[in-house]
Structure 1
Amino acid sequence: MTLPRTPSFRLDGRRALVAGASSGIGAGAAVALAEQGAEVTLCARRRDDLQVLADEMNAAGMRAQILPLDITDLPAMEQALANRPAFDILVNSAGLARHSPATQTTPQDFDLAADLNFRAAYFLTRTIAARLISEGRPGSLINITSQMAHVGGIDRAVYAATKHAVEGMTKSMAIEWGPHGIRVNTIAPTFIRTALTADTFANPERAAWIASKIKLGRVGEVSDIMGPVAFLASDAAALITGTSLIVDGGWTAD
């Protein structure tokens, strides 16, 4: 018999855009893609942080360049992408949290979270896809959501709402763009040790709640997300679209 062959995880010859790449999960995603041979454009507002990461990646033999940009500025985002070749891969890790009891949510906090986590994610994904469709190219578009895109959480009504919204848009976009060979998925992490979660882990009550929910008995590290990013971007995930890869240590299993 002829043995089946595992599709390649390599990304040689592909161009990737990683939004929110200046730290945390975004930085890890950028490295993961570059390790597999992709040419990676690092996008975020903080130019200096992007340059430090790009310099380290290039020194390690990877290929990285920077694109300082606030993706909530839709005209600036669309213009910046129009001036560059199409991206085969998108990882959108840009996001923020404004946690509070739902009765204390302010319109300002709601708008800040919704503007970046959902509105910017929607139009960034749409912009990348529209370019691919116009050029007849396939692609893999990945939005980083959260386990809170599948459950609820204390003081997280606004954050969970924005992440649920991204899961919904992902399914619809996957249906629309599937005939063009464009896959759209999400990765939904549990609590990952980053600057964004430092305050949460510093709260003993919250830390105990997290520990009680993660069945594998530990919180996530950035490295736990890197493999899933490389997988979904690659041909090894060629038949996966419109779904969420939940990386939560079993949080949502019950």
Structure 2
Amino acid sequence: MRGLKGKVAIITGAGSGIGQGIAKRLGCEGSKVIVDYVGTPEGAEETERAIKETGGEGEIVRADITKLNDINCLVNTAWDRFGSADFLINNAGVEKKSEFWDTTEHDYDLVMNVNLRGPFFLTQSFVRRLRDAKKPGRIVNISSVHEDMVFPGFDSYSCSKGGLRMLMRNLSVELGPLGITVNNVAPGAIATPINKSLLANKEQLNALLNNIPLGRMGTPDDVAGLVAFLVSEDAAYITGSTFVVDGGLMRNYREQ
């Protein structure tokens, strides 16, 4: 991809799943990667090793994107360690299943804080540094097909992703004059730890696969390739859009 070598990428939730796949892809393309994680560090260490094995550079940062101090530390680390930041990948996400009438305030707040509030304020911190340095930049949010497609039992998740869609659209207009592009990537069913229970349930998995025209779940690599394109020079004139990576699921989905 044109324009990735030597650039600096901040990737949230880069210790597993889609975030790890994106970090590895950008690293092998020559980008320097800030590997954000929460919880235990093993996954982030695996990501960093994979980046270094391809000759890239990585820096692990433990930052909880629901906390403003951690957000600012994450952005500042990129500038302190590598002298700048060029790409922000808002990937970290969480979901909580419950019937609407049983959803607790705690679970609602958790989902909204991680999936929407975190990207809002992390993007703000990232953009402030770009603006002050008079630098262009790329922002890619890992959203979901559920920014559009209904998902009964996951109302807070769907709300958070719908909000992320409108945040992207607003910011593409507001930040365009600064040379900053903003886009969403909306994965469908991807084989990651967040889908562990689904993968273990053969009946549910087969029902899902019957709804996917390509007949398989996606992989983190399927998403990472599109993200690499969107932050590259080849996508310099693309902003304000959602790109769906779902094997055709949205066009063929039927509630069971």
- Fold shared by both chains (TM-score > 0.5): yes
TM-aligned CA deviation for residue 130 of structure 1? 1.6
Distance 1:80 1:226 in 2: 21
Distance 2:74 2:227 in 1: 24
Distance 2:233 2:226 in 1: 13
Distance 2:37 2:201 in 1: 28
CA-to-partner distance for each residue in 1:214-249, whole Å, 9 max, x for gaps? 121111111111110100010111111011110011
Partner of residue 190, structure 2:
192
TM-aligned CA deviation for residue 60 of structure 1? 2.8
CA-to-partner distance for each residue in 1:15-48, whole Å, 9 max, x for gaps? 1011100000000000111121111110111333
Partner of residue 148, structure 2:
150
Give the residue type in structure 2 aligned to 1:63: E
Partner of residue 3, structure 1:
none
Query: Is the 1:32–1:229 Cα contact (8 Å) retained in structure 2?
Result: no
Distance 1:32 1:249 in 2: 20
Distance 2:31 2:47 in 1: 16
Partner of residue 113, structure 2:
115
Distance 2:207 2:233 in 1: 38
TM-aligned CA deviation for residue 201 of structure 1? 2.7
Change beyond 3 A, Cα 1:74–1:209: farther
Query: Is the 2:23–2:47 Cα contact (8 Å) retained in structure 1?
Result: no
Match of 2:26 among 26, 29, 33: 33
Distance 1:230 1:213 in 2: 27
CA-to-partner distance for each residue in 1:137-158, whole Å, 9 max, x for gaps? 1111011011111111131211
Query: Is the 2:27–2:33 Cα contact (8 Å) retained in structure 1?
Result: yes
Match of 2:7 among 7, 14, 28: 14
Give the residue type in structure 2 aligned to 1:192: I
Q: TM-score, normalised by structure 2?
A: 0.91
TM-aligned CA deviation for residue 159 of structure 1? 0.9
Partner of residue 5, structure 1:
none
SS at match of 1:185: strand
Partner of residue 92, structure 1:
90
Say how many residue pairs are matched: 247
Partner of residue 73, structure 1:
67
Match of 1:54 among 32, 48, 58: 48
Q: Identify the range of structure 1 (174-183 vs 55-64) with the bigger mean alpha-carbon deviation.
A: 55-64
CA-to-partner distance for each residue in 1:111-154, whole Å, 9 max, x for gaps? 11011011001111111112111111111101101111111113
Distance 1:136 1:190 in 2: 36
Q: How does 1:166-177 map to 2 (within 5 A)?
A: 166-177=164-175
Q: TM-score, normalised by structure 1?
A: 0.92
Distance 2:102 2:203 in 1: 20
Query: Is the 2:139–2:183 Cα contact (8 Å) retained in structure 1?
Result: yes
Give the residue type in structure 1 aligned to 2:48: A
Distance 2:155 2:86 in 1: 33
Distance 1:160 1:59 in 2: 37
Partner of residue 236, structure 1:
234
TM-aligned CA deviation for residue 83 of structure 1? 4.8
CA RMSD of aligned residues (A): 1.5
Q: Tell me, yes or no, if structure 1 residue 212 matches structure 2 residue 205.
A: no
